Amino acid sequence: MQATQGYAVKSATSQFEPFKFQRRNPGAHDVQIQILFCGICHSDIHQARNEWGNSTYPMVPGHEIVGKVTAVGKDVKKFKAGDVVGVGCFVDSCRTCSSCKDHEEQFCEKHLALTYNGTEMDEKTPTFGGYSSQIVVDEKYVLSIASKLPLESIAPLLCAGITTYSPLRHYEVGPGKKVAIIGLGGLGHMGVKLAAAMGAEVTVLSTSPAKEKDAKRLGAQKFVVTKDRKNLEPLANYFDFILDAVSAEHDPNMYLNLLKRGGVMVLVGVPEKPFALQAFPLISNRRRLAGSLIGGIKETQEMLDFCAKHNIGSDVEVIPINKIPEAYERTIKGDVRYRFVIDMSTLK
Ligand code: NAP
Ligand code: ZN
Ligand code: ZN
């Protein structure tokens, strides 16, 4: 076993503190990774504070991991020491169920080993995430990084990137399609960049008027402030696809009327509280409401390669590890441009 340094919360209400724990020695198929950067996803906040009711402690969050390979097991083929690699939201799955066989491991029917706040395949050993010095992961669940962009801007692709890329691809967003992104945060700003790179016309629906200039720079043609519902009226029956990436309580019903006939709205945001769904906006125009969860390993690699080809990274604010509490507070206020990323060299 190997001593590992991390940052953990011990309960839903406690502050982050240094935390020492053990990682396994690399097995035959394992890759050992020194973590260089880790993004702060809003899911880290939801889980650190037990807002989804499924948290276990101590918890070392972090599933937007970029690092350097320091050692590989004897049967590892894809990676060697010195390679730059990524790890996302899960580190293993059953590999035999129909979802795993279809390269959609995120929907594993037996057991998905989440990167943190989960368990390894023995369903007992707790997993600890990327707010830590190093991680050991089976090579099948490690991603290759070919991008020339700064590594801190790549880390958020491992969750925010794939979570927006996957539904955009699934619903065939591309040239001629009108897309709306609700919530210009970590996920939302990646959604704008990716949908624009796929050739769609992009509109940002935001509660923050100050983000208009950024939205346009990121690739949006239109920007609409949603606080006054009247602003949405000209967009009735307009969009083919809407991505709802809002982290907090809001009313998704008000956006359904913006879909054209047969259009689809996909929820990726996971607010703490449920909402009441109105039937009329859905039955009119045969609209669809769907959800989407991150993406499989194959599609995550495809997304990373797409981003490398199109020079797409995340817009980031890099912070030392002791600034996590401030970063959490600012993220909750929607005051992040557009992802906080921890520089792991500041972990002592
Ligand atoms: P984030 O960076 O905090 O962004 C959320 C954005 O939502 C904010 O920037 C803000 O944008 C908007 N917003 C915040 N509070 C709001 C409110 N009360 N009403 C309306 N809009 C509000 O969060 P994130 O990391 O992108 O994550 C977004 C959500 O997706 C979280 O719930 C997270 O857990 C979830 N998530 C899901 C998956 C998945 O696989 N489905 C993966 C990762 C994350 P504006 O200022 O533009 O309004
Ligand atoms: Zn995430
Ligand atoms: Zn499976």
- CATH number for the domain harbouring residue 224: 3.40.50.720
Does one domain contain both 198 and 275?
A: yes
Average pLDDT over residues 124-135: 98
Q: Is residue 302 part of a domain?
A: no
Q: How far apart are CA 43 and CA 315, in angstroms?
A: 18
Q: Which protein residues touch ligand 1 with a CB less than 6 Å away?
A: 41-43, 46, 159-160, 163, 183-188, 206-208, 211, 245-250, 268-270, 292-294, 331, 334, 336
Cβ 337 vs Cβ 156: under 8 Å: no
- CATH number for the domain harbouring residue 74: 3.90.180.10
Statement: residue 147 has pLDDT above 90: no
Query: What pLDDT was estimated at residue 219?
Result: 98
> Amino acid identity of 195?
A
> Closest ligand 1 atom to the C-alpha of 204?
47
Residue in the structure block whose two tokens are 């920007």: 223
Domain that holds residue 254: 160-291
Phi, psi of 114 (to 5 degrees): -65, 150
Q: How far apart are CA 120 and CA 128, in angstroms?
A: 10
Statement: residue 80 has pLDDT above 90: yes
Does one domain contain both 9 and 153?
A: yes
Q: Which residues pair with 39 in a beta bridge?
A: 341
Cβ 324 vs Cβ 301: under 8 Å: no
Q: How far apart are CA 233 and CA 212, in angstroms?
A: 19
Q: Is residue 111 part of a domain?
A: yes
Distance 295 CA to ligand 3 centre (A): 13
- pTM beyond 0.85: the answer is yes
Q: How far apart are CA 188 and CA 210, in angstroms?
A: 15
Instruction: Report residue 348's pLDDT band, with 50, 70 and 90 as the boundaries.
Output: confident
Round the average pLDDT of the chain to a whole number and report it.
97
Give tens-digit pLDDT for 266-296.
999 999 999 999 999 999 999 999 999 999 9
Does one domain contain both 112 and 50?
A: yes
